[in-house]
Structure 1
Amino acid sequence: MADLWDGALIDAAIWHARTGDVARQFRYRALYAALPVDALEAAHLPLRPDRPGLWRLRRQDYGARDGSSLTDFIRSQLAPVGLSHCQITLVTMPCGLLHGFNPVSFWLARDDAGLRAVLAEVSNTFGESHLYLCRHPDKRVIAPGDRLSGEKLFHVSPFLPREGYYVFRFDPGPGRFGAWVDWFGKDGDLRLQTSMIGKARALTASALRRAALRHAFQPLRVTGLIHWQAVKLLLRGVRYRKKPPQLEIRRSEATAERSDV
């Protein structure tokens, strides 16, 4: 059974379901990598940062977005909440041959007791990003059934307002990864459900080569699917919202479950 904390490939099923103004669902599959950050930066994994190839991982696409150390970045995010001692694995979609885009990457932080925090790094197609730190205020382990809520502060889709709140849920395995993110409007009604669920398999050099050959254009395909769904929403008369200026706050928290969920 593959362990996310040793390095893995995740055959993920992605699901989105919209309700309210229009009911719509869409699904697609994507291959993600789970990369222990310390081993990644020490070049102990088959996938190495900033190395050319059909599948690439660029430091400039994460964290401070300036090509600096990924380890330093995630430790700086966890230190203020007393979790800098944790082991970190980054779950992400590597760049393809021509394109790189991650709707969301997850930095998983655990210790011997279990999962303590998840930093969700959300990006939009306008080149912006926001960090949602998901954790319990008392630092207790995040169980698969725990629901962590945080205000929506980042513009992702031009068909949804920047308001309301998210509810996050995570399952880090073993042998699998699951992330669920639901969006509730300011009225408290559930408007959008999303999930990413998949089994994990070992990240070996041969498995990485096969993945790179088979999925060299995966990020380009995902971006195309996002825009194709946008066209479908436009054709159904869903209102297009102009992108607002990004808020100055670039990191926020999702903690205790809200009483109105």
Structure 2
Amino acid sequence: MSKLCSTVYEGRVFHQRLRPTKHRLSYKVFSLLLDLDELPDLHYRLKLFSYNQFNLFSFWDKDFGSGIEEPLVQYVRKILCKFGYNLSNGSIKLLCYPRIFGYVFNPLSVYYCYDSSNILRVIICEVSNTFNERHSYFIKVGHKEGQNKVFSCKKKFYVSPFMDMESTYHFHISPPSDRLTVFIDQHDDKGPLLKASFSGFSEDLSDKTLFYLLLKYPLMTVKVIGGIHWEAIRLWNKGLKIFSRPVPPQEPITLVNKHLTKTKK
């Protein structure tokens, strides 16, 4: 039986708010990095994981993208074509939380889109808020081995009532390997506001690994949404200003094309 392309990353989510009041949080979590073309195969090869069907762990297309019941890989390929990328022979891998006991909330889901030579060409950061809204940031990478890139764009989508929309995201890009890191910093005209990251190490995706994760993180996806509300209460108690929720942007995807820096690992 061939080795799976999908894998697991176990690690830690970290947020640090720098102004006007300092606040930080850190939680141990795990994420799946799923090859979207491999989902039907995972459904049959794993007993504890199902695709578009209830199980201890499951993945549902409607939890992502357009929110309709179409194969997610088809949706992503249509988006890629819309922005001029025909990567039909390349893989698309999604970093996300799975449903556990039928529930999930993904504040951030990251699509890594490769060409036929397995070179990372596009990253799509799909952001969800607690109002059942989604918005994606489309990043043209053109990645070369051994490099990190930082891309920047204006914040377009309301996430937190305690964060002004008049700010800018900095996306720190690196392709998944044995270690995976995702860094997103938020700035305003006075400097850094928020630093957010996920960092983890890879493990094989198997029933054995999933069972271990179930024992270690039995209510992780409930903890994610519970943690969001708990941290909101803590911020409210610190007296932070509340910003009203604007109308969501008409376009569901923002193109990120401002390249800030390039650094060697």
Normalising to structure 2: TM-score of the pair? 0.88
Specify whether residues 165 and 97 from structure 1 end up closer, same or farther in structure 2 by C-alpha distance, changes over 3 A only.
same
For residue 256 of structure 1, what is the aligned residue in structure 2? 258
Aligned-pair identity in percent equals 24
For 1:168-223, what per-residue CA distance to the aligned partner results, in whole angstroms no more than 9, with x for missing partners? 112233212110001112x1511111110000100012212332344332111011
Q: Secondary structure at the match of 2:250?
A: coil
Q: Secondary structure at the match of 1:230?
A: helix
Q: 2:101 corresponds to which letter in structure 1? A: L
Equivalent residue runs for 1:100-249 within 5 Å: 100-111=104-115, 112=117, 114-136=119-141, 139=142, 141=144, 144-185=147-188, 187=189, 189-249=191-251
CA–CA separation in structure 1 for the residues paired with 2:75 and 2:217: 28
Unaligned runs of 5+ in 1: none
Specify whether residues 93 and 66 from structure 1 end up closer, same or farther in structure 2 by C-alpha distance, changes over 3 A only.
same
- Asked if structure 2 preserves the Cα contact closer than 8 Å seen for 1:149 and 1:257, the reply is yes
Specify whether residues 226 and 142 from structure 1 end up closer, same or farther in structure 2 by C-alpha distance, changes over 3 A only.
farther
- Asked if structure 1 preserves the Cα contact closer than 8 Å seen for 2:50 and 2:57, the reply is no
Normalising to structure 1: TM-score of the pair? 0.89
Q: Secondary structure at the match of 2:56?
A: coil
- Asked if structure 2 preserves the Cα contact closer than 8 Å seen for 1:19 and 1:192, the reply is yes
Specify whether residues 44 and 35 from structure 1 end up closer, same or farther in structure 2 by C-alpha distance, changes over 3 A only.
farther
CA–CA separation in structure 2 for the residues paired with 1:16 and 1:153: 20
Task: Select which of 44, 52, 70 maps to 1:68.
Answer: 70
Shift of 1:153: 0.3
- Asked if structure 2 preserves the Cα contact closer than 8 Å seen for 1:11 and 1:31, the reply is yes
- Asked if structure 2 preserves the Cα contact closer than 8 Å seen for 1:159 and 1:239, the reply is yes
CA–CA separation in structure 2 for the residues paired with 1:181 and 1:13: 14
Q: 1:37 corresponds to which letter in structure 2? A: L
How many residue pairs get matched? 253
CA–CA separation in structure 1 for the residues paired with 2:190 and 2:39: 41
Asked if residue 81 in structure 1 is aligned to residue 80 in structure 2, the reply is no
For 1:8-43, what per-residue CA distance to the aligned partner results, in whole angstroms no more than 9, with x for missing partners? 111121111111211111111111111111011444
RMSD over aligned Cα atoms: 2.1
Q: Secondary structure at the match of 1:145?
A: strand
CA–CA separation in structure 2 for the residues paired with 1:10 and 1:164: 30
Shift of 1:247: 1.6
Bigger mean CA deviation after superposition, 71-80 or 203-212: 203-212
Unaligned runs of 5+ in 2: none
Asked if residue 99 in structure 1 is aligned to residue 103 in structure 2, the reply is yes
- Asked if structure 2 preserves the Cα contact closer than 8 Å seen for 1:155 and 1:244, the reply is yes
